[in-house]
Structure 1
Amino acid sequence: MLYGRDAELRLLSDITSRGFAGTGGALLLRGEAGIGKTALLKAAREAAVAKEGRALSALGVQSEASVPFAGLHQLLNPVLHDHLDHLMPRQRNALLAAFGVIDDAAPEMFSVGLASLELISGLADESPVILVIDDAQWIDGPSSEVLAFIARRLDAERAVMLLAVREGHDTVLDDAGLPELHLPRLDDDSAKALLEAHAPQLDRSLRDRLLVEAAGNPLALSELPAALSSQGGVAQTLMPWLPTTRRLERSFLSRASTLPDETQTVLLITAADDEGDLAEILEAAQLLDGTALPVASLEPAVEAGLLEVSGHKVRFRHPLIRSAIYHAAAPSRRLAGHAALAAVLARHQERRAWHRAAAAPGPDDDVALDLEVAAAKALLRGAPRAAAEALQQAALLSDPNTHRGRLLLRSAEINFELGSVTVARRQLAEAKFAKLERAERLRHTLWMEALNEESWFSPEQVRAFADVADQLASAESNGAALALRALWPLAIGCWYGNPAPETRGTVVRTARRLQTGDGELMTLCIAACADPVEEAAWVIGETARLAPGSVNDAAEQHALGASLTAIWAYDLSWPYLCAAVEGLRQQGRLGLLGEALASQAWAAILLGKHRLARTAADEARRLSRDTGRPRWAFVADLAMATLACERGEFDAANELIRTTEAELLTLGAQSILAYAQFARGRYAIVHHKYNDAFEQLARVLDPSDITYHPFVGYWAIADLIEAAVHTGRADEARRYFSQLNALAEKTTAPFLTAMAAYAHPLVAPEDEAESLYQRALDPRLSNWPFHRARLLLAYGRWLRRQRRLVEARRPLHAAMESFDALGIKAFGEDARSELRAAGEAIGQPTPDTLDKLTPQELQIAKMAASGMTNREIGTRLFISHRTVGQHLSRVFPKLGITSRGQLHLSDLGGD
């Protein structure tokens, strides 16, 4: 019986019941040690099994927290043998590589996550599943990331995940957005009932004192009475200045201290071990004491309530017992215990390396190199964070005059690639005072400059960076490529920031010196981002000469596609962004995929591919939040807001803009505020609030404004010109048009040319406007359907103002049809209003059935219509096959059909 936990048990029962009915989820239990987390998990597990559910469990162990995917393997190992073959080959290989069973290409963490989710979903097809993870704060990082990925995707599964985390410990799961249940201490009545049940023989005064000392902690109430067998026990245990946890540890140690020496040896080895394997523990204990120990040596610890033995597995009855035993041992004894385990684990390289590290009393280069090998294996298993951690620990165990600097440098490089810039900076600062070879010293200097954002805008610092880059290119065979990689963040900083022209030029010249061939891809990317105005024409020309299929790597496709969007070359960027999205999906690189989708969404908006933009932005915002990249999520949110404006969903758009802008200001992400201004400006244009539109959009082109971003500003300069014309700001309209026209000629960017064609008639004298409208409507705008439709609307409006009503109807009809085809309701309604004003009776548009579908439902429906199975769709979208089925079950009635055979791509729209 669990005293005082009726509400918590009801909540767990409700979650489990919903999960077993196919609407699963996850819950994180948080509380202090001994508060009852383990007991609640056990109760939920037993209740699920009683309902014929399948239970899978994992227990976090401190000494195991550095071994990548150890916790996930512990969770899934019972079902791997019988169910691994049910996975698609790529998913099966991802799991086996993560667990070190096969030597395959390093799997992305999210490929491992999807494989694990699909394995669990397959199990749930047979019977409901409950996943129980206790002491999750000590589950290794890669496993925690996978668990968070799974937990967020159980809504359509017959599965639930329950996790327990000790209060005061940080974990990856804290940022997973999971619902939490904080466990309070027991109330007085429950505490008295629990104590009475465990120690009915206590006299009243002792019972009252124990109630005070236990302070509502269930473990204290059930365990402390066992230590009160004598007056000495009372004096030792009930010390008012000790916290509850420390009292409990003393209680457990008092029991352990009376056990035979051989049993205490087994307890220490078990506390240091991360597997709980009985044979492994006994062998290490034998090495530690120099004498063979029988299985019977565990029995006194089991009888004392310290250990539990199930088959060949040994575990402590509570994590506090483990920590109490381990930390109470003399330091020399602990080191010897780890050394014994390392000797036993000769065939398990990674675990052996970490136990050797724990056994080292001080710097030891041999142990450090062993950890370096473990780091290499972690990289092969798709666990770069674990690799960086191993290299960091190896550096701590190295002599500054031997390997420390090299190991810190390599760890910093991995952390930079993972986006952990603060950690990388700290490690580089530490490496500065250690021995580095010449090429390593150059690499170190290069990364120090690349990660120093202040240097991005200083001509002197950029020149110094360029000099180091040149030296590195001549010092190492791959030095030029490495230097270009380090130059890339400076180029991105130039696009988002506002450096002097000299700084932009230095970055571009350095990249050109480092390139190994004409038009090298990274050089094109750096030039585009570092100096869009000056380099756009060259980059566009070089990109046009690239052979089809010459860029095959998904990351390179993304870099080139995103760089082409930086110079307004959305038509050129489009095939690269689409290829990047497809390639990154296949590789399971969700972080970079979220970025690529956000770039694709904005390119699609500016190309007039609005339905595709909506699905890309929707997926980008979800994946970016999944992967801890909130800034890209906000970029996608603002794309969704812009699309909502154009669809006529004004309330939703305004709320999304408002909340996103508030988040950006809190983060200090000023460079993204320009996207918010673009969305605000489009909102105002659609509402015919031209004065507001002018003020909002002009800010983005004002160097003194916090939202200043000239490159984003030119996305909406046609809107700005239109707003200026409508508000009587003729001079400003002509000035902005001159800027736009000059930039279009200089950069050769077709997007800018299209906007100039649209804007020119707006600023021209009345007697010149018609010829400009007609000239602009030639085939040059055929690749820009949105701008062409807006030009037709403007031309029809101009004709109507000239009282040429019959002539006005033709372009207005064409505009209306184009906007309807693009799914842009707001502008379509403008065209209808103009047609009515031109004397034509025009009704409301026929409701688009596709508007009933969410972006993800539309995405899934298109994939299903193309013939993909649920499992194939799930693999592409990083959801389970069961979730795909649930989405389709909602799609069918919305579309008025009953089966996937009735889905046709032609009916689902396109861009």
Structure 2
Amino acid sequence: HALPAQDRGRPALVRGLATLADGPAGDAHHALLLAAALFAPAAPERAAAARLAAADAAWAAGDLAACLASLGPDTPDGPEPESAGDQRAGMRALLEGRFAPAARRLGRVREQGTAAPAAPEALLRSATAALLLGDVEAARRTGSRALAGARHEGSAALVPRALEYLAYAELRAGRHAEARAHAEEGLRAALRSGQRNTAAHHHAVLALAASIEDEPHVVEEHVEAACATARSHGLAQVLTLAQWAAGRADLGRGRPLDAADRLGLLVLAGPQRGHFAVWRLAVPCFVEAAVLAGRAAEARTLLDDFADWAGFGADPQAPAQLARCQALLAPADEADALYRLALDRHTAAGGDFEHARTTLLHGKWLRRRRRPREARDRLGAAVARFARCGAGVWARQARDELRSLATPPSRPDTTALTGLTPQQRRIARHVAQGATNRETALALSVSVRTVDYHLRRIYAALGVRSRLELARLVDEAEQPATG
């Protein structure tokens, strides 16, 4: 006799969930959709759970169309549990940019995390809703309850996932040390239970945590591990997070050209753009890197979209980051007020690392405007905040700025430019005069790639890290010849 459809749905569900944890996300998506179809006639609750799991698989793969298709219409064809309906409709509204209904439906799911008792799986759904809404404190509380429940049940499958949600919540709150602790434990648990996809998420968290510290080799190790699984299993979300971590590490180590190249692939419009729900997190890093790399025009194309993201409220740091981005791109007579607005917003949002980054950039801006007393106050505060959150590589940047403020600048070696090739000297002078890489390429009848290549060599040869430093060096080095 043929098995009932709901009995045939169980193997498909088990297979789909196992593949979602340790296999290609696309395969998991199709297995879970099959399970949902088999469960639908006689077991609507299981069908709803399978559909949500299928949406999770499409989300992990970065397939927006498949995610929306899995979530289905706002009004389902058949009965479904209220919590599953709220989760499904809320996620769909969020992805479609309908923020008011998204906040209403996902808010109900988030509130279910305050009810007791609740199964760990339900608590993880509640934590997901809290993260989507930017309520990181609710995500932490609910994730902790889910972890406690999973440990109590001895669930080897749920413990790594609960630690993943906790780690992401800590990252979103700017608590990198706590995120690293959860991810280290989650990585061990995921590897023990054979969940390579979950392990890849933990590697991405560890890369992001290390990107603020003075540990470039640690960033590279975790990025490589995360990307290896992400590429083989089609995990676009993990890939985007790992590449963001690598770009942020480049920026922290004073390599804006490399950071702009890497992050540009994630945030600029095009087929290679990062995961649909994650790429906006990397926009503030790209804007900073792009301004230093002479690609301000590209950065400006992102501000309207990032302003919409900041207005939704899903990222507590986004409003302050938006003002910081606007300050980086603003004329001199507007930038100071925008930096101060950003700092006020950081004070309201909390979180030392992003606050310190804005403080550092404001301090650099004040130093270039020859306002040493204000610059010293800002840079000293940046050092203290970076030290408090363990951001070693960024603290070094702030200390370097303080030292340059305290020590009168020595005149550059007038032979510095003569060590460049004639082509490199021409490129250096064009860039120092404010030309973009594209404008320089047009003026010299070469490709933009050639200008990019030579500019990297120029930076290394002259020991500068930004276009502003290059302009200052060229101007001062050529003064004796023009004076």
- Do these two structures clear the TM 0.5 threshold for a shared fold by scoring above it? yes
Instruction: Measure the CA separation in 2 of the matches of 1:620 and 1:656.
Output: 14
Deviation at 1:624, TM superposition (A): 0.7
Mapping of 1:627-642 within 5 angstroms?
Answer: 627-642=193-208
From 196, 205, 221, the equivalent of 1:655 is 221
Deviation at 1:805, TM superposition (A): 0.9
One-letter amino acid matched to 1:647: E
Partner of 2:62: 497
Partner of 2:442: none
Secondary structure at the residue paired with 1:778? helix
Deviation at 1:560, TM superposition (A): 2.4
Structure 1 pair 742/768, CA: closer, same or farther in 2 (3 Å)? same
From 25, 33, 38, the equivalent of 1:450 is 33
Does residue 794 in structure 1 map to residue 361 in structure 2?
yes
Partner of 2:278: 712
Does residue 538 in structure 1 map to residue 101 in structure 2?
yes
Does residue 745 in structure 1 map to residue 328 in structure 2?
no
From 295, 298, 305, the equivalent of 1:732 is 298
* Larger fraction in strand: 1
Structure 1 pair 569/645, CA: closer, same or farther in 2 (3 Å)? same
Instruction: Measure the CA separation in 2 of the matches of 1:522 and 1:840.
Output: 63
One-letter amino acid matched to 2:359: L
Instruction: Measure the CA separation in 2 of the matches of 1:613 and 1:522.
Output: 31
Secondary structure at the residue paired with 2:74? helix
Q: Is contact 1:581-1:597 (8 Å) kept?
A: yes
Instruction: Measure the CA separation in 2 of the matches of 1:512 and 1:829.
Output: 58
Deviation at 1:767, TM superposition (A): 0.8
Instruction: Measure the CA separation in 2 of the matches of 1:796 and 1:514.
Output: 58
Q: Is contact 1:537-1:747 (8 Å) kept?
A: no
One-letter amino acid matched to 2:305: Q
Structure 2: unaligned runs, 5 residues or longer: 24-28, 409-483
Deviation at 1:822, TM superposition (A): 0.9
Secondary structure at the residue paired with 2:72? helix
From 48, 68, 79, the equivalent of 1:484 is 48
Instruction: Measure the CA separation in 1 of the matches of 2:78 and 2:8.
Output: 29
Deviation at 1:587, TM superposition (A): 2.2
Q: Is contact 2:12-2:32 (8 Å) kept?
A: no
Mapping of 1:167-186 within 5 angstroms?
Answer: none
Deviates more, 1:622-631 or 1:785-794: 785-794
Deviation at 1:807, TM superposition (A): 0.8
Does residue 776 in structure 1 map to residue 359 in structure 2?
no
Deviation at 1:687, TM superposition (A): 1.5
* Larger fraction in helix: 2
Deviation at 1:486, TM superposition (A): 2.1
Instruction: Measure the CA separation in 1 of the matches of 2:145 and 2:32.
Output: 32
Secondary structure at the residue paired with 1:838? helix
Deviation at 1:489, TM superposition (A): 2.4
Mapping of 1:540-689 within 5 angstroms?
Answer: 540-542=103-105, 544=107, 546=111, 549-550=114-115, 552-566=118-132, 569-689=135-255
Corresponding residue pairs, total: 398
Structure 1 pair 817/758, CA: closer, same or farther in 2 (3 Å)? same
Deviation at 1:447, TM superposition (A): 8.8
- 1:271-325 residue CA offsets vs partner (Å, 9 max, x unmatched): xxxxxxxxxxxxxxxxxxxxxxxxxxxxxxxxxxxxxxxxxxxxxxxxxxxxxxx
Partner of 1:507: 72
One-letter amino acid matched to 1:649: E
Secondary structure at the residue paired with 2:277? helix
Q: CA RMSD in A?
A: 3.5
Deviation at 1:776, TM superposition (A): 2.1
Deviation at 1:498, TM superposition (A): 3.1
Deviation at 1:621, TM superposition (A): 0.9
Partner of 2:267: 701
Q: Is contact 1:536-1:748 (8 Å) kept?
A: no
- 1:630-676 residue CA offsets vs partner (Å, 9 max, x unmatched): 11112211221222221111122223323442343344445532122
Structure 1 pair 628/750, CA: closer, same or farther in 2 (3 Å)? same
Instruction: Measure the CA separation in 1 of the matches of 2:112 and 2:234.
Output: 41
Deviation at 1:735, TM superposition (A): 1.4
Secondary structure at the residue paired with 2:63? coil
Query: Which is bigger in relative contact order (C-alpha 8 A, separation at least 6)?
Result: 2
Mapping of 1:191-590 within 5 angstroms?
Answer: 399-400=1-2, 403=3, 407-419=7-19, 450-451=33-34, 472=40, 479=44, 481-495=45-59, 496-500=61-65, 503=68, 507-510=72-75, 514=79, 517=82, 520=83, 523-524=86-87, 527-528=90-91, 531-532=94-95, 534-542=97-105, 544=107, 546=111, 549-550=114-115, 552-566=118-132, 569-590=135-156
Structure 1 pair 763/796, CA: closer, same or farther in 2 (3 Å)? same
Q: Is contact 1:701-1:710 (8 Å) kept?
A: no
Instruction: Measure the CA separation in 2 of the matches of 1:651 and 1:753.
Output: 32
Structure 1 pair 447/779, CA: closer, same or farther in 2 (3 Å)? closer
Q: Is contact 1:532-1:566 (8 Å) kept?
A: no
Q: Is contact 1:508-1:530 (8 Å) kept?
A: no
* TM-score under structure 1 length normalisation: 0.40
Partner of 1:811: 378
Deviation at 1:709, TM superposition (A): 1.2
Q: Is contact 2:380-2:402 (8 Å) kept?
A: yes
Instruction: Measure the CA separation in 2 of the matches of 1:567 and 1:782.
Output: 15
Q: Is contact 2:353-2:391 (8 Å) kept?
A: no
Deviates more, 1:829-838 or 1:778-787: 778-787
Deviates more, 1:576-585 or 1:543-552: 543-552
Secondary structure at the residue paired with 1:590? coil
Deviation at 1:764, TM superposition (A): 1.9
Structure 1 pair 622/706, CA: closer, same or farther in 2 (3 Å)? farther
Q: Is contact 1:610-1:822 (8 Å) kept?
A: yes
Give me the identity figure in percent.
25
